[in-house]
Amino acid sequence: MPGQAEPTRDEPLGLSSDRSSGWLRRLAPLVRARQGRFAAALVASGLGVLAAIAIPAVVGRAVDQALPTPTNPAPASTIGPFVVLVLALGALRALCGFVARDGLARVAFGIEYDLRALLYQHLSRQSFSFYDRVQTGQLVSRANADVRSVQMYLAYAPALLVTTASFAVAIVLMMRVHIGLTVLAVAPLPGVYLLGVRLRKELFPLSWVVQAHLAEIASVVDENVTGTRVVKAFAAESRQIALLERAALRLRWASLRQFDTRARFGPLMENLPRLGLALVLLYGGVLAIDGRVSIGDLVAFSSYVVMLQAPFRSLGFLFMLSQRAAASAQRIYEVLDTEPEIVDPPDAVDLRQPRGDVELRQVHFAYPGRDVPVLRGVDLHLAPGETVALVGRTGAGKSSVARLLTRFYDVDAGAVLVDGRDVRSLTLASLRSAVGVVVDEPFLFSDTLFANIAYGRPDASFDDVRRAAAAAGAADFITSLPEGYDTVVGERGYTLSGGQRQRVAIARTLLVDPAVLVLDDATSAVDAHREEEIHEALRTLMAGRTTLVIAHRLSTIALADRVVLLAGGRAVADGTHHELLGTEPRYAEVLSSLPDGRSPVAP
């Protein structure tokens, strides 16, 4: 019923899994969940159409009653009952129109909600390889513009289709008046149908191109807003504006082609039925003069012809909505039908009470779409509580080891094990809860510092958050802010310095208290004094915790119990810093290339 709230669901409804069916059939589960409201809206729309069809018949009777004829020389003195009936039918039509529009709008917006939720839920499960090849703006466009196109079609099309279905009822009533007049009225309609088929064929590819160019513009805007600091740093505003202008011109071209197509076909589709009306008035006038039809019948018949024109006037709009929605739905399904590559296997088990034993056995790995492998048979073992630094030139595969350990990607051959279990046999949630990662480019949400630190443990107390911040060396600068832990950082945390962002990211990981800690150059943006403070805190916190240090700076090697050198996709040396410095020339070469390679390393 109107005004009734949709039931709240924890999980969005799913689509039909039959990918070979049409785009509307795949939406059937979402419609069935609202079938009561949808049916009520269609019934109300049908009743409204019947009321509209009944009005010309009543008016025709009223005209015949009011005008004298040879068979009725003394017409009724009043048409009051007919006026009351027309008013009642008008009120019924208005009420049915409200129920129909309200119901269809609620169904359409409910399905829009489900599609957005499905898209976001699906995107949250996608693997990193998916985001490596898909632009953010493309995804934003599909979650916004494409979903809205589907919603608009669902909101308007059913009512328009019901109105079109009234065509059959009107034809029956017209034939009861005069068959010849009916034939004249519908004679132009096959031409309208053929024009509609031609319009549909031309609109579908254009609708796809328009949506694609909208996504392209969204991608350009997203990259410019996200990378505005880079754009301004290189004074590249004019180039980026030109890039957006070219994308906008392509969209304008496609949009104009789309509207040009509608402009060519629309007037013909709208005006062909009016040719039928002209023929009806000409021939009907002759019939009325000859007394073969009454004036009232001719008035009613003319009204039916006008009613027949209404669906055809909106036919072009309906075809445009249909083709745009079909193109948009295909783009949405393209995302939803992309299966995540990294998923929990059916027999996955939780990693309970992890000890932190980490091992790589003959690991081979190449990033999707790249022929050259990053890792070629890497063997590595970290005992529980041990701290190991990975060292190597840029591109040696140090960060790749961390990504395989958290199962952001899967190995091509070999195995990564935690506590003796292949990570592919563990649930992703338990694995990633046991392995905490602090990357060299920390990402903060546009939220309070408290919420950013407590992101992994939303139920953490203030004292827990404060202790984690203190351990990461972030407490001092946070308490110096006017609003302290309630300070809202800007998008991506850019209102903070690079060192401050990294300290918050370290605190966020430490609060989760993972059994395995991965520091991917986590102190790269911290000055030497602050870095030493963080290192002292980390030394205490790493006691009893397995830690993998991805070393891009010489100073971070001091945190490790031993060092593993990666070269040529393999672990070519393993030992303490001083052992490797004295026995492995390649290690000394790598150290000399590090930013602080001339600095002494603590024993």
Secondary-structure percent of the chain, ordered helix, strand, coil, rounded to 5: 65, 10, 25
In contact, 147 and 116? CB cutoff 8 Å: yes
Q: What is the pLDDT of residue 315?
A: 67
**Could you tell me the pTM of the whole model?**
0.70
Structural domain boundaries in the chain? 23-336, 358-593
Q: Which homologous superfamily does the CATH classification assign to the domain defined by 23-336? A: ABC transporter type 1, transmembrane domain (1.20.1560.10)
- Answer CATH for 358-593 from 3.30.70.1290, 3.40.50.300, 3.40.47.10, 3.30.750.210: 3.40.50.300
Starting at the earlier edge strand, list the strands of the sheet with 387-391: 435-438, 516-520, 546-550, 387-391, 562-567, 570-575
Strands 562-567 and 570-575: antiparallel
Q: Which residues pair with 508 in a beta bridge?
A: none
Q: What is the pLDDT of residue 95?
A: 93
Q: Is 365 helix (H, G, I), strand (E, B) or coil?
A: strand
Distance CA 120, CA 139 (A): 10
Q: What is the pLDDT of residue 179?
A: 84
Q: Which two tokens stand for residue 126?
A: 């996608």
pLDDT digits (tens, 9 = 90+) for 21-47: 788 888 888 888 888 899 999 899 888
Distance CA 443, CA 445 (A): 7
Residues of the chain with pLDDT under 70: 1-13, 68-78, 165, 223, 225-236, 309-316, 440, 491-494, 521-543, 594-603
- CA neighbor of 284 nearest in space, from 187, 185, 191: 185
Three-state SS sequence of 79-101: CHHHHHHHHHHHHHHHHHHHHHH
Distance CA 335, CA 130 (A): 10
Q: What element of type H or E holds 376?
A: strand 375-382
Distance CA 307, CA 53 (A): 8
Q: Which two tokens stand for residue 10?
A: 């924890």
**Long-range contacts, stretch 221-229, CB < 8 angstroms, 24+ apart:** 221/137, 222/135, 222/136, 222/137, 222/140, 223/136, 223/137, 226/136, 226/492, 229/494
Q: What is the pLDDT of residue 526?
A: 58
Q: What is the pLDDT of residue 600?
A: 39
Q: Which two tokens stand for residue 241?
A: 């504006």
